[in-house]
């Protein structure tokens, strides 16, 4: 089968290059009275369109700085591909077709996944894409086949876990440029390894989240998440902001899949749940390579990675909790049920996947989970193939889909 070299997807929000050298600037701002884009050459007013959208086409070039001006106040593009500096300053125009890829890549099947989770800020050297690229041969020689990058979306400050990103489309400037990430992915592919990315679609971080200031409709007035304002996933433009984000990372950076953080925190009452639509839209694209979608879901549900579901796997936190209790003796909070008999829980995890499958458990009155024993034995039987590796710490065995 021929290897696809490029897939282009639609990006509704933000700045996009057009075929004639001009750029389109588009913003969903239903609460605004006036919107403009501020470029080095001057300010351009966006025209109001239907359903809360504003848009303008004008001359610009890759590398230009820009900001959206909403009702007189300047903000970074919420869908910026990169920032000039931190989350508070101007955004920069990036040509998604400007990088010269060197390696064709047909991808890897899920059954060959040996996953190494990488935090760029702590991995090696100066904590950048470039520094990590220099170590890829070591990971290949270790037997790693898929590298899972922890979130790289722009967050406030230089250091952090990445789970409080506020510009989901932008690479964190401390890690390097968009092309630095592309070089990392390209080099990994050249060595026969794929790259997954951890993405956060359940909330936006607290610092630098300017959407709350100029677009209150982005958030649900009666909804709160563990991290602040709840997101209005039922609204089409908001929904597309995150689903197109998933497509964007896969298309612009040729990633091999995504790990979706804390999907249990995505509260959506649409007829088709946000998570289902995201999976369906990813699977509707002919990527020319296997795309792996992995969830983190503390509800211990099985339908998202069951037969015919669009997801390949889910993290098995139960395995981690049981091993953690066995090694440390900790028995507080959510560890308490796993501290009663951690060895038995480890056996259950190896046989069935989930430990908590809706049955009564010690030290808790909460029933959690669904039966998972019917999933194929390969989901956890080959620990060397299907696992998550972190330096110095045992972590979750991944539950594989049929």
Q: Which position among 296, 297, 352, 400 bears the catalytic label?
A: 296
For the range 270-276, what are the long-range contacts, defined as Cβ-Cβ under 8 Å and sequence gap of 24 or more? 270/233, 270/234, 270/239, 274/201, 274/233, 274/239, 274/242, 274/243, 275/304, 276/310
* Alpha carbons 59 and 74: distance in angstroms, whole number: 20
- Is 198 assigned a catalytic role? no
Per DSSP, helices labelled H in 105-202 are 120-123, 129-133, 136-142, 178-190
- Catalytic, 296? Answer yes
Tokens coding 88:
């508070």
Sequence-distant (≥ 6) Cβ neighbours of residue 353 within 8 angstroms: 316, 372, 373, 375, 379, 380, 399
Cβ(95)–Cβ(362) under 8 Å? no
**Which position among 86, 164, 261, 318 bears the catalytic label?**
261
Cβ contact 22:64 at 8 Å: no
Q: Which residues are catalytic?
A: 261, 296
């Amino acid at each position: 089968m021929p290897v696809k070299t490029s897939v282009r997807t639609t990006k509704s929000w933000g700045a996009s290059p057009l075929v004639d050298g001009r750029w389109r600037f588009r913003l969903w701002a239903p609460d605004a009275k006036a919107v403009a884009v501020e470029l080095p050459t001057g300010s351009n007013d966006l025209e109001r369109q239907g359903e809360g959208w504003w848009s303008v086409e004008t001359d610009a070039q890759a590398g230009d700085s820009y900001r959206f001006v909403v009702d007189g106040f300047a903000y970074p593009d919420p869908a910026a591909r990169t920032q000039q500096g931190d989350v508070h300053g101007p955004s920069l125009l990036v040509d998604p077709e400007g990088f010269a890829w060197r390696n064709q890549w047909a991808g890897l099947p899920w059954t060959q996944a040996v996953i190494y989770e990488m935090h760029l800020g702590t991995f090696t050297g100066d904590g950048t894409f470039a520094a990590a690229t220099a170590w890829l041969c070591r990971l290949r020689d270790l037997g790693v086949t898929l590298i899972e990058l922890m979130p790289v979306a722009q967050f406030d400050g230089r250091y952090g876990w990445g789970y409080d990103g506020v510009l989901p489309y932008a690479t964190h400037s401390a890690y390097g440029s968009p092309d630095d990430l592309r070089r990392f992915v390209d080099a990994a592919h050249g060595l026969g390894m794929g790259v997954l990315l951890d993405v956060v679609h359940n909330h936006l971080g607290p610092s630098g989240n300017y959407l709350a200031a100029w677009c209150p409709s982005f958030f649900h007035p009666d909804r709160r998440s563990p991290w602040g304002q709840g997101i209005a996933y039922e609204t089409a433009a908001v929904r597309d902001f995150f689903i197109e984000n998933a497509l964007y990372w896969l298309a612009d950076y040729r990633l091999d899949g995504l790990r979706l953080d804390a999907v249990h925190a995505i509260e959506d009452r649409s007829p088709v749940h946000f998570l289902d639509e995201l999976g369906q839209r990813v699977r509707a694209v002919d990527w020319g390579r296997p795309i792996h979608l992995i969830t983190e879901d503390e509800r211990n549900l099985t339908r998202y990675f069951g037969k015919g579901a669009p997801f390949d796997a889910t993290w098995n936190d139960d395995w981690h909790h049981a091993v953690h209790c066995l090694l440390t003796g900790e028995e507080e909070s959510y560890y308490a049920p796993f501290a009663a008999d951690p060895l038995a829980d480890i056996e259950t995890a190896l046989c069935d996947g989930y430990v908590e499958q809706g049955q009564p458990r010690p030290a808790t009155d909460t029933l959690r989970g669904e039966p998972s024993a019917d999933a194929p034995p390969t989901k956890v039987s080959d620990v060397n193939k299907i696992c998550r590796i972190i330096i110095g710490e045992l972590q979750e065995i991944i539950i594989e889909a049929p």
